[in-house]
Amino acid sequence: MKRVGIFGGAFDPPHLGHIRLAENCRQRLGLEEIIIMPSFHSPHKPTPDTNFQHRLEMCRLAFRGKIYNVSDIEKKLGGEGYTINTLRKIKDSYPKGTKFFLLIGGDMLFSFEKWFRYESILKECTVVAAAREEDSYADLTEKAAELGHVRVLNLPVTDVSSTLIRETLKNGGDTSEMLSEEVREYILENGIYRG
């Protein structure tokens, strides 16, 4: 039975923390494929200023290797990127019996009940919440038990965020410890995040 992870987000830009989270989930969950899915319009967060095509290209540069499948499905579906709709569309293109894992940051778990048709998401896949330093692992496991069909992974923390990177780039700072070389070069070549 194939085990497939689905990792969505703004990826504005995709950074080393995203890459390490995906790799840790691959190892801990025995994933054979991880679908990297930049959001088109997110119902949970403001739509990123950086256009979708740039974010998609940066994801292709950041997530290299046979295991990663960078997908533009959210753009193809258009409209609001409701996870349940995207998840069902993805599942339609895989053999029956494929096991799906939706990878989310631990902070998202506390607002998971606000997601559109969240109970259906829990029936369609296993939600995997990655605990971070600011999240209490105990609180996350308690929330996971309350929701059911959620697994919490306590992962090493990479102290970086897309917001911090955007600010650093606007101010002409060094992002070599935060981004892959390929993504940094793409940002510079395309003049993204300039002040």
Contact 12, 166 (CB under 8 A): yes
Phi and psi, residue 50, nearest 5°: -70, 130
Whether 123 has a pLDDT exceeding 90, the answer reads: yes
Q: How would CATH label the architecture of 3-159?
A: 3-Layer(aba) Sandwich (3.40)
Work out the average pLDDT over 89-103.
Answer: 97
Contact 105, 130 (CB under 8 A): yes
Tokens of 133: 């330093």
Mind listing the pLDDT tens digit for each residue in 143-193?
999 999 999 998 887 788 999 999 999 999 999 999 999 999 999 999 999
Q: Where do the H-state alpha helices sit in 10-51?
A: 16-29
Burial of residue 139 (CB within 10 Å: 0-12, 13-18, 19+) is middle
Beta partners for 6?
35, 102
pLDDT of residue 134: 57
Ranges of each domain in the chain: 3-159
* pLDDT band at 131; cut points 50, 70, 90: confident
Provide CB contacts within 8 A for 98, sequence distance 6+.
1, 2, 3, 4, 91
CA angle 114, 74, 2 (to 5 degrees): 90
Average pLDDT, the chain: 92
Mind listing the pLDDT tens digit for each residue in 47-57?
678 999 999 99
Work out the average pLDDT over 81-103.
Answer: 95
Closest to 93 measured CA to CA, from 8, 4, 162: 4
Greatest Cα pair distance in the chain: 49
Mind listing the pLDDT tens digit for each residue in 76-91?
988 667 899 999 999 9
- Chain-centroid distance of CA 125 in Å reads 15
In 18-136, at which residue ranges do the beta strands (DSSP E only) sit?
33-38, 68-70, 99-105, 126-131
Q: How far is residue 34's CA from residue 23's CA, in Å, rounded to a whole number?
A: 9
Q: The whole model's pTM is what?
A: 0.93
pLDDT of residue 185: 97
